[in-house]
Amino acid sequence: MTVLLDDGLADPGTHVLLVGVGHYPFLKDGNAVKPFDMAMGMGQLSSPPLSVHALAKWFMDAAAGFHNPDRPLRSLQVLCSADVPLQVTDAHGAPQVLDRARMPAVQQAVLAWMARAGRNPENLAVFFFCGHGLAFGEAENALLLEDFGGNPANPMADAIAFDSMRLGVLRHCAANPQIHLVDACRTPPTKDFLDTYGNGATGDPIAAAGISRKLRDKIAPVYFATGLASAAYGLNGQPSLFTQGLLQATRGPASRDKDDHWEVQVPALAEGINKCVASMSFQVQPQYCQPHETGPEVMIHRLRTDPEVIVKVFTRDPNLLPQAVLAHVDEDTQVREERPPDPAHWWVALSTGSYRIEALAAADKPQVLCQRSKYVMPPGTEVGL
């Protein structure tokens, strides 16, 4: 098992398990001798390996990455299935080739992560998955591992029954809180698939449990990358939209003012992710992070500097936007930035503070058509001119 960090301490801390699956040998364009004939259009993915790599680096970056004084990083384990085995530097600076995300390895990893996180009930347990997913109704999402389709008599044997697993982790792992980040599609299986295999087989829960009053004081929010029956997207050669939004959100859009510092909190995370994803130019169709049971304020990450804010600048007259130069001016430093005419809204990341936002006529001698002063702060600000 590829454990990049485990300090072995029982003091309160954060314990992380990252799972990414981009290589599916039995799905479309895979390298299996006998492909799965019910692949349902699913094929190879380039984003999951890049997503887990980016998150692993962020968690391991003690200078500019994850920062939680109350619950410092105590363990990090990563599994990833890619065309070429993924290599990540561990806590000692040594390169480690990641174990592949096949069911036997993932089962062991989940149980080991639960044991590490269970050392102290004040621990924060974080689970992240990026890869293909299926939704068997609202109550059960399946996360597909590398060998999905390798057993045509029971393909779901190589999938995690996520919602059941979450319940099992709640019951059997003492850590409170627990956070789950699911970066996968939530589209339903085809009728042929359900006719062949039924809707009762939704994967292996790895840890099973029933509903109990013992769970009522547990905090275990889930952040789905997309809504029910919807797809999650990524650009070829980049981390997924959700992962990019998540990492950007930790720089400020998901933070809240806590007197002498800013911190990313459980209730604010989804709003921050959505602000960041909305600001990206790639949109096949809108993708919205769907939080589930977010619960009370819990610090995930503490910012070291003033937060970054996502600002949307637009013109109230839609005919003006493609003709105007947009600009923002920091009212403290007078630093100015401009964007040439463009029919799209201007999404820009700014530090918290006061700005003058302007729309200027595109000419040799620009004329200010309209302007507004605005104080920008998380999670985001919209400025209409």
* pLDDT confidence of residue 93: 87
* pLDDT confidence of residue 1: 67
pLDDT beneath 50, residues of the chain: none
The pTM for the full model equals: 0.96
Q: What's the rounded Cα separation, in Å, for the pair 382 and 310?
A: 9
* pLDDT confidence of residue 283: 58
CB 207 within 8 A of CB 171: yes
Q: What's the rounded Cα separation, in Å, for the pair 183 and 262?
A: 26
Q: What's the rounded Cα separation, in Å, for the pair 117 and 319?
A: 55
* pLDDT confidence of residue 191: 96
Residues 6+ apart with CB under 8 A from 360: 324, 325, 326, 327, 338, 366, 367, 368, 369
Kindly report the average pLDDT of the chain as a whole number.
94
Residues 6+ apart with CB under 8 A from 287: 225, 226, 230, 231, 232, 233, 241, 242, 277
Q: What's the rounded Cα separation, in Å, for the pair 82 and 371?
A: 49
* pLDDT confidence of residue 164: 96
* pLDDT confidence of residue 281: 65
List the alpha helices (DSSP H) in 132-221: 162-172, 191-197
Dihedral sign for Cα 330, 333, 334, 336, please. Answer: negative
Give 316: exposed, middle or buried? Use CB within 10 Å, 0-12, 13-18, 19+: exposed
107-135 confidence digits (pLDDT tens): 999 999 999 999 999 999 999 999 999 99
44-74 confidence digits (pLDDT tens): 999 999 999 999 999 999 999 999 999 999 9
With b meaning 16 or more CB within 10 Å and e meaning fewer, what string describes 63-74? eebbbbeebbbb
* pLDDT confidence of residue 68: 98
* pLDDT confidence of residue 60: 96
Q: What secondary structure letter does DSSP report for 98?
A: P
